[in-house]
Structure 1
Amino acid sequence: MFEYFPENYPWSLGVVATLNSGGLIDEVDRACRPIREAATRGEDAGTPDFLRAWTALTDQLVGQAEEAEKEGHRRTAGQLYARATNYLAQAERLQSASAEGRLDSYRRVLELQQKAFDLKDPGLGRVEIPYEGTTLPAYFSAAGENAPVMIMWNGLDSTKEHMYASGHWAELAARGISCLMVDCPGSGEALRVQGLTARVDTEAWASACVDYLETRDDVDRTRIGLVGWSLGGYYAPRAAAFEKRLALVVAWGANHDWGAVQRRRLEREGERPVPHYWEHVLWVWGHEHLDEFISFADRIHLDGVVGEITVPFLICHGERDRQIPLDYAHRSYEQAVHSPDRKLRVFTAAEGASEHIGLDHLGHVSTFIADWVSDVFASTR
């Protein structure tokens, strides 16, 4: 993996994720050069510096976008707003949960994202999914009438804006598949703005998403699938095991036993995805005390669960994933004995995409998943 900050894995992961989601290397380099020294102070200490540097880049692009918009260059403005959103969303992701101004930064992300939609991707828009007396915020990409659809879920620290920036929705659209990008409880806007925290029984979110999709006239109700990346590699298989209206499921990173990963992280085994890690985890799951959370997290696993999956099941994992052991991918595959079409795809260092969820070569994983999904949906038409 390209590591701009060799001594700082979470920061480097953020950089490579940005570059593989539409960021431009010159812009990213100009934002990162002033904070090289800050990166050496540890993953936590310099995150305010990271936010300031990347916010300055965001401000520059927004200024350019506003000028382009005044001159009637709508697509150029939309592209600038989209990159500005990408940069600010990534910088916000690395901040402490209690950092002053974090919510303001995220609200700005939402505003910039909407401007990008309006000017660059007007066919993609915001929707609200009814969920237990409130709603789950999401973006919907419509691929046509009576189209199959993929529900896309986050992991521990990403947002629906990262899903948009990844371009996976566009790969699906090119294959005639719509995409519902959802901020689940514990992620993105659902967590930051609404205070909705994660839960073990993710089938509750899946049912809400399917219920919503079944109200749309442009969706083929018999071909609704689910993909989750990172911690979504637990969320999605768990949901598919119990929400039987789903037609297929993809684990984009095999998070088979996330609870065990937390115990290893207490011992500093493996890498952590974000700075201020334990504060972030407690925020996501709505816990106050680490010892209580660690005991609770023992429930977050797929043993005895993936055996209940009865639809096609794809597992993608990088052989050099420094966060989640490759063994978990094999465990999910071996236990999914009732899936009629289970497939394990391990991405190697020789081809790329061997890091966590393939962030080092994100498009390689994205297109593989899109092709597999397209083939499965075609076989069930």
Structure 2
Amino acid sequence: MTVSPYSSDLDLVELAERMSPFNPVSWYAEWKRIAEKNERLAEGFEKEGHKVTANEYYLRAARFYQRAVIYQSEGDPPMLPTFNKLIEMYKRAWQLVPPPFERLEIPFEGTTLPAYFSKPRGNPGQRFPTVYAFGGADSSLVGGGGGAYTSRGMAYLFLDGPGQGIPLRLKRVYAPPDSERVAKVVIDYLVSRPDVDPNRIGITGGSMGGYTAPRCASGDKRIRACSMSSGAYSLLEDIFEYYPPIQERLRWLIGAKDLADARKKIREFTLEGRAQQIECPMLIGYGKDDRIMDPQGAFRLYQAAVNSKRSMVAEMGHDVGRARPSPLRPPILADWMAKQLVPPS
């Protein structure tokens, strides 16, 4: 719960100077203050007819509101109004300038999951290798990502899944232990698209997605490559017990009634008996000093996934406590995925 001062963005520098480290009240107040500042600037530019500039500032406001709400719990009064505010900012931004991606609603067990789909430029009828991105416990749908993949010839789908963002906060759709259930409906959708190569689909995950991505790969053989940062084997051991401050957040996103129930439910979030079912190549990232996800979980996954051509890479965990995050994460994951999925030219 810190902000690095190493930024060319003066708003972020100001945040770093004003914020009290590891103070949830200060975190919320400062991010919200900067979000409101950018919202006011966006409204001013919109009134003056500068649609592109207004779009840019609404997007900034949305991202700052997202940072404000990220640590708000289920019972915090500001949580829902602030989350609705970030959604409003995105809507206002894209009303002014159409987004450079498709906004989707993918059917899932009686509801829908919001997603966005980006793809490279190509010839009419061209089918692209595609990467399905699975976020973590703090994930929320924010359009515009995926450039590291599209610039390397891959399409990119990011999903607000059960236990995340809109499904969690507005629909009370909680994360299941068998995330392959979610992957099935997403991949069913992807293979129905005329611009997706059904034989070249990969999945990537970060944070809690370091469990869900390999779990998906264990249950759906249409996944041909799997990469992750903060790889995990058992969420009970690797995050729930390893990092107690996150227990209440995990309780909420898996739909448990209390911490005792959460401990019982989260035992099912495991790759025990399943890791050996993963047959696609894997890149398992970890951080040796990761304070949130136990790096030993990544090693246990590596040891158990005996039928996968797998490798491990360091400096791919949570950047908690670092003034300078690792510069390696995006290109390593995207380059590795391109090597697995993109045909040689």
Q: Report the AA paired with residue 214 of structure 1.
A: V
Which residue is 1:4 aligned to? none
Partner residue, 1:290: 259
Q: Does 1:334 align with 2:299?
A: no
1:308 aligns with 2:285: no
In structure 2, the partner of 1:178 is 155
Tell me the residue number matched to 2:329: 365
The letter of the residue matching 2:342 is A
TM-score by length of 1: 0.81
Take 1:337 and 1:280, find their aligned partners in 2: how far apart are those partners? Answer: 32
Residues 136-166 of structure 1 show CA distances to partners (whole Å, capped at 9, x for unaligned) of 11122122441111111111122122xx47x
Aligned to 1:28: 12
Normalised by the length of structure 2, the TM-score is 0.89
Find runs of 4+ consecutive structure 1 residues off by over 6 angstroms: none
Q: CA deviation at 1:178?
A: 1.3
Structure 1 residues 110, 263: closer, same or farther in 2, change over 3 A?
closer
Tell me which of 201, 219, 222 is aligned to 1:245.
Answer: 222
1:376 aligns with 2:340: yes
Matched, 1:151 2:132: yes
Structure 1: any 5+ residue segments left out of the alignment? Answer: 1-10
Contact 2:239 2:292 (C-alpha < 8 Å) held by counterparts: no
Aligned pairs (5 A) from 1:336-355: 336-339=305-308, 341-347=309-315, 355=319
Distance 1:134-1:174 versus aligned 2 partners, 3 A rule: same
**8 Å CA contact 2:238, 2:297 repeated in 1:** no
Q: Does 1:57 align with 2:38?
A: no
How many percent of aligned residue pairs carry the same amino acid? 29
Matches of residues 185-264 of structure 1 in structure 2 within 5 Å? 185-262=162-239, 264=241
Unaligned runs of 5+ in 2: none
Amino acid in structure 2 at the alignment position of 1:130: P
Distance in 2 separating the partners of 1:47 and 1:85: 19
Question: In structure 1, what is the Cα distance between the partners aligned to 2:296 and 2:31?
Answer: 36
- 1 or 2 for the larger relative contact order (CA 8 Å, sep ≥6)? 1
Deviations 1:299-329 (A, max 9, x none): 2222222210111111111222112222222
Confirm or deny: 8 A CA contact 1:319 1:346 kept in the other structure. yes
Contact 1:130 1:212 in 2 (8 A): no
CA drift of 1:112 comes to 1.5
> How many Å separate the matches in 2 of 1:321 and 1:117?
37
Letter in 1 for 2:310: R
Letter in 2 for 1:126: R
Evaluate the alpha carbon distance shift between residue 232 and residue 354 of structure 1 in structure 2; reply closer, same or farther with a 3 A threshold: closer
| Alignment equivalent of 2:71, drawn from 94, 114, 132 | 94
Give the secondary structure class of the aligned counterpart of 1:193: helix
Q: Which has the higher helix share?
A: 1
Query: Matched residue of 1:361: which SS?
Result: coil
Q: How does 1:267-286 map to 2 (within 5 A)?
A: 270=243, 272=245, 277-286=246-255
Alignment check: 8 A CA contact 1:160 1:183 kept: yes
Instruction: Check 1:116–1:148 CA distance in 2 against 1; reply closer, same or farther (3 A cut).
Output: farther
Whether the 8 Å contact between 2:315 and 2:328 is mirrored in structure 1 is no
Output the aligned Cα RMSD.
Answer: 2.6
What is the CA-CA distance between 1:330 and the residue it aligns to? Answer: 1.9
Distance 2:12 2:215 in 1: 37
Q: Sort the Cα spacing of 1:346 and 1:91 in 2 relative to 1 into closer, same or farther, 3 A.
A: same
Taking the aligned partners of 2:263 and 2:318, their CA distance within structure 1 comes to: 28
Question: Taking structure 1 as reference, are residues 360 and 204 closer, same or farther at Cα in structure 2, changes over 3 Å only?
Answer: farther
Report if aligned partners of 1:271, 1:322 keep a CA contact under 8 Å in 2: no
